Amino acid sequence: MLRGPSSFLWVPVPPAAALAVALLSSLSHCSFLEPADPVISSLSPYFGTKTRYEDANCGLLRDPEVPRRDPELLEDTCTPLQLVALIRHGTRYPTAKQIRKLRQLHGLLQARRPRDDRADAVGGRDLGAALANWPLWYADWMDGQLVEKGREDMRQLALRLASLFPALFSHENYSRLQLVTSSKHRCVESGVAFLKGLWQHYHPGLPPPDVADMECNPPRINDKLMRFFDHCEKFLTEVEGNDTALYHVEAFKTGPEMQNILKKVAAALQVPFNSLNADLIQVAFFTCSFDLAIKGVKSPWCDVFDTDDAKVLEYLNDLKQYWKRGYGYTINSRSSCTLFQDIFQHLDKAVEQKKRSQPVSSPVILQFGHAETLLPLLSLMGYFKDKEPLTAYNYKEQMHRKFRSGHIVPYASNLIFVLYHCKNAKTLKEEFRVQILLNEKVLPLAHSQETVSLYEDLKNHYKDILQSCNTGEECKLPKVNNTSDEL
């Protein structure tokens, strides 16, 4: 079952592991747990960063408190020493910008004058009328905030992680838990909901108190760490604030794949073709995902699209992530090296403490951020890199791409580093090992494709980033020499 150096005593798969078989399913498409509506389940795999966690992670057990073991996790000869988890906030409301666009589209539908009544007369459905009458229940104040489903995402994640790593999340270790978060409301609230989930784990049936009374270290806001992209001058100038940096995204919006969808949608909704654009189409697609993720309802917005449309819209979303957060520009990922180093500083410290036979000061470190926090870091580490870049012109060639944000960073996505203290079965020497989990599944290491690595080997693989990447330097803008102009 386990791949790795044979000198090491691997654990036989415990019977309890049978419960976790589903956990091992790959990162590829899920067959959905709920048979639900065929329209919803056929579009759900393409919601990109607006994907529900359970849709990206089909193996989740119904009851998070059922003790669970992942046969790929190390046990017996290894003891978990520390866990550093990077967690994207849970399901959220649309942003104010998305709500404004949705309102614009809704207005368009309400103002439209259907060409004739034949659609109704022949018994066909007037989709435009159904959409015009569908309540627009999103208001400006919601602006990207965490929704109740998002709190539930976090509580459930907490319960599952606590049952996966009972010692690390033991009540005794709870007071040493460290929580760092982005200042965004949805991240702070995600942290709070996670802690409430842990409280539920320790005190089943008791209502959780205020976080202030929860006996752990108070959550700390750190945007330099969790929103490094806002603090990187070079990224802000060359990518974020640069009109041409997302060239491929803009070109794809006006390319043939999108134009086809625009034509189809204009005809189906009976609105003028030139009143629509790719942004409005995208917001209609997102509304299908929001209505599903937030309200758990199947919205008529989903009826606007078929799976082929959904694949194109997923690509549009992925293109943006690729150029703004992924491999598109080196600075996207280099700006995250402080966060990467921070993770290894925690691991280093735990190793040192263990070597000196001291208790680990922080067995659990939780860091709450964004898809924009996780994607650059995963790119820095070399994950989900396709041979060819994603461009406006290779949609077909990229059908089987690795860079699929819906599989990598759905709501509540998480990247977890687990440090183990082990005894080598042959030499009886103590060793430190690491596993990386993405969305609760073991992520094979980039350098070996193994499910586990010696801590030293992992550090060695990433030594360039650990030793030579300095965000201060990386994020500096190239010096413009205008001395000659001044002369």
Ligand X SMILES: *[C@@H]1O[C@H](CO)[C@@H](O)[C@H](O)[C@H]1NC(C)=O
Of 184 and 253, which has the nearer Cβ to ligand X?
A: 253
**What's the CA gap between 75 and 22, in Å, rounded?**
19
The minimum distance between CB 82 and ligand X, in angstroms, equals 6
Q: Does 391 bind ligand X (CB under 6 A)?
A: no
Of 93 and 322, which has the nearer Cβ to ligand X?
A: 322
Strand ranges (E), 248-363: none
The minimum distance between CB 79 and ligand X, in angstroms, equals 6
The minimum distance between CB 449 and ligand X, in angstroms, equals 28
x/- contact string, 185-224, with ligand X (CB under 6 A)?
----------------------------------------
The minimum distance between CB 70 and ligand X, in angstroms, equals 18
**What's the CA gap between 17 and 70, in Å, rounded?**
6
The minimum distance between CB 24 and ligand X, in angstroms, equals 25
The minimum distance between CB 81 and ligand X, in angstroms, equals 5
- Are 370 and 227 in contact by the 8 Å Cβ rule? The answer is yes
**What's the CA gap between 284 and 223, in Å, rounded?**
32
Hunting for tokens 């609760």 — which residue is that?
A: 440
Segment 162 to 181, residues that bind ligand X, using CB under 6 A = 167-168, 170, 172-173
Task: Give the count of beta carbons closer than 10 Å to the beta carbon of residue 184.
Answer: 21
Q: Does 81 bind ligand X (CB under 6 A)?
A: yes
Question: End-to-end distance of the chain based on CA atoms, in angstroms?
Answer: 71
Structure tokens at 380: 């820095």
Biggest CA-to-CA distance, the chain: 83
- Are 132 and 270 in contact by the 8 Å Cβ rule? The answer is no
Of 326 and 363, which has the nearer Cβ to ligand X?
A: 363
User: Please, which residues have CB within 8 angstroms of residue 50's CB and are 6 or more apart in sequence?
Assistant: 286, 289, 290, 293, 406, 411
Of 81 and 436, which has the nearer Cβ to ligand X?
A: 81
Hunting for tokens 């990187």 — which residue is that?
A: 232
Of 149 and 433, which has the nearer Cβ to ligand X?
A: 433
Structure tokens at 306: 């078929």
Of 113 and 479, which has the nearer Cβ to ligand X?
A: 479
Of 283 and 360, which has the nearer Cβ to ligand X?
A: 360
**What's the CA gap between 85 and 158, in Å, rounded?**
11
**Residue 413 φ then ψ, to 5°:** -60, 155
Segment 238 to 257, residues that bind ligand X, using CB under 6 A = 238, 242, 244-245
Nearest CA among 76, 30, 83 for reference residue 57: 30
Of 388 and 485, which has the nearer Cβ to ligand X?
A: 485
The minimum distance between CB 354 and ligand X, in angstroms, equals 8
Please say if 89 is a catalytic residue: yes
Burial 87-113 (b: 16+ CB within 10 A, else e): bbbbbbbbbeebbebbeebbebbeebe
Of 173 and 414, which has the nearer Cβ to ligand X?
A: 173
The minimum distance between CB 59 and ligand X, in angstroms, equals 26
Segment 464 to 483, residues that bind ligand X, using CB under 6 A = 479-483
| Cα-based distances in Å from 453 to 46, 350, 365 | 33, 16, 20
Site size toward ligand X, by CB under 6 A = 22
Q: Does 357 bind ligand X (CB under 6 A)?
A: no
DSSP string computed for 458-472: HHHHTHIIIII--HH
Segment 44 to 63, residues that bind ligand X, using CB under 6 A = none
Q: For CA atoms 18, 422, 166, 418, give the dihedral sign.
A: negative
DSSP string computed for 85-97: EEEE--SBPPPHH
**What's the CA gap between 434 and 447, in Å, rounded?**
13
* Residue from the set 42, 77, 178, 237 that interacts with ligand X by CB under 6 A: 237
**What's the CA gap between 357 and 360, in Å, rounded?**
9
Nearest CA among 3, 84, 137 for reference residue 362: 84
**What's the CA gap between 81 and 420, in Å, rounded?**
5
The minimum distance between CB 138 and ligand X, in angstroms, equals 33
Q: Which residues are catalytic?
A: 89
Interface residue list for ligand X (CB under 6 A): 79, 81-82, 167-168, 170, 172-173, 237-238, 242, 244-245, 360, 363, 479-484, 486
